[in-house]
Amino acid sequence: NAGVTQTPKFQVLKTGQSMTLQCAQDMNHEYMSWYRQDPGMGLRLIHYSVGAGITDQGEVPNGYNVSRSTTEDFPLRLLSAAPSQTSVYFCASTKSGLYEQYFGPGTRLTVT
């Protein structure tokens, strides 16, 4: 099992560019989430999904889109990157809210 994988590991974008952060898991988990973490701060939930075809907003959804067409994949799209989106992005998956979450290694994004 690869667990939760994220690509890319690092990315630099210019303001206004768009991109997709990829997240995949091979554990057949229904529940997947995207978080961002800024220096010295806790994890903030961006979007989450409780199953294929179902997504919902978290605490900080503005500027991001998600879709969940398969159980395995949960990509995060930045529509028009802004310097305020410079952060470390973590994807996580779990069977449900009652179980432990497994995190990917993170994507470090810088927007200039």
Cβ-proximal residues to 19 (8 Å cutoff; 6+ apart), any chain = 11, 13, 77, 78, 81
Q: Is 75 in the site for other proteins (CB under 8 A)?
A: no
Q: Is 26 in the site for other proteins (CB under 8 A)?
A: no
Pick from 25, 47, 104, 111 the residue near other proteins by CB under 8 A.
Answer: 104
Q: CA–CA separation, 19 vs 21, rounded Å?
A: 7
Pick from 61, 63, 75, 105 the residue near other proteins by CB under 8 A.
Answer: 105
* The one-letter amino acid at 7: T
Q: Is 17 in the site for other proteins (CB under 8 A)?
A: no
Number of Cβ within 10 Å of residue 50's Cβ equals 15
Residues in contact with other proteins by the rule CB under 8 A: 31, 33, 35, 41-43, 45, 48, 50, 88, 90, 94, 96-101, 103-106
